Amino acid sequence: MSESAKDWNPGAYSRFRGLRLRPALDLLAQVGDLPKGDVIDLGCGDGAAAEALAARFPERRIIGVDNSPAMLGKAQGYAIKTLADIGTWHPETPPALIFSNAVLHWLPDHAALMPRLAGYLAPGGVLAVQMPRQFLAPSHRFLRDIAGGMFPDRFDFGHYHPPVDPAAAYHEILAPLGRMSAWETEYVQRVEAVVEGHPVRAFTGTTAMRPFLEKLSEAEAKQFTAAYDAALTSAYPLLEDGAALFPFRRCFFVLEMP
């Protein structure tokens, strides 16, 4: 599969812009006053949070960082757009705020990653993070169960560990560094009917499902998708109008450095 086929699809991703923006706004609402410095939107994607960040911090330079050329290409509202992998990225000057919405679950070893990011901040700076914590819910568990059952040569989740821990774990890791606030919220999302397939799949298809589809041929993907749709119907029954209720758990924390 080519690199571009592996890249994110900003058009499909933005279909649920409202549902995806809400947690970003809830996170931003918990960020207080900032010291001097830039605002970094880490894993900025197509720039969904740029407008809210600019409205909140109108005098600041807002920098978007992402490793997807397609997403970064769409992103607007940043003074600087940096194509970089968060695994190796570091800021040029100590930022006032590192804001990261729905990104860091793609990166491993949070016990090392989060303190590293906090260490880049200016004194009094803030690290604000939101990550989905949906990995044991049916929407995400079905992906692993079905892929492992259908294609055991490519998928083995025998030692699976969810990439995001409970909010309390981040509190424990980061509280020694500064003032911590951590919480979780389950959003009861209404996902509207789609022409083809289950509406929950329309949501996960552009994010959680991507690493699975990348490893499948077109015919295999079709088979996999049909099985996933059927399983979703049992866990998220369709409402009369074809929409579904899709409870979705998210983990948040805000660390304020001394």
Ligand X SMILES: C[S@@+](CC[C@H](N)C(=O)[O-])C[C@H]1O[C@@H](n2cnc3c(N)ncnc32)[C@H](O)[C@@H]1O
Interaction site with ligand X (CB under 6 A): 8, 20, 24, 43-45, 48-49, 66-68, 71, 85-87, 101-103, 106-107, 207
Q: 49 or 96: whose CB is closer to ligand X?
A: 49
Distance between CA atoms of residues 33 and 56, nearest Å: 10
Chain Cα centroid distance, residue 63: 18
Q: Decide the pairing of beta strands 244-256 and 126-132.
A: antiparallel
DSSP string covering 107-140: SS-HHHHHHHHHHTSPTT-EEEEEEE--TTSHHH
Q: Scanning the structure block, which residue is given the tokens 């424990």?
A: 172
Structure tokens that stand for 187 in this block? 């959003």
| Shortest spacing between CB 219 and ligand X, in angstroms | 27
Instruction: Supply angle C-alpha 140, 7, 89, rounded to 5.
Output: 95
Question: Rounded to the nearest whole angstrom, what is the least distance from the CB of residue 103 to ligand X in the complex?
Answer: 4
Instruction: Calculate the alpha carbon distances from 206 to 55, 99, 161, 213 in Å.
Output: 28, 22, 22, 10
> Cβ of residue 95: shortest distance to ligand X, in angstroms?
16
Minimum CB–partner distance for residue 116 and ligand X (Å)? 13
Q: Cβ 157 to ligand X, closest distance in Å?
A: 20
Q: Give min distance, CB of 153 to ligand X, in A.
A: 26
Q: Which is nearer to ligand X, 24 or 202 (CB)?
A: 24
Choose between 107 and 167: whose C-beta lies nearer to ligand X. 107
Q: Tokens 């568990």 belong to which residue? A: 141
Residue 85 or 222: the one with the smaller Cβ distance to ligand X is 85
Rg, C-alpha atoms of the chain:
19
Taking the least distance from each CB to ligand X, the nearer of 42 and 121 is: 42
DSSP state of 93: S
Nearer to ligand X by C-beta: 26 or 220? 26
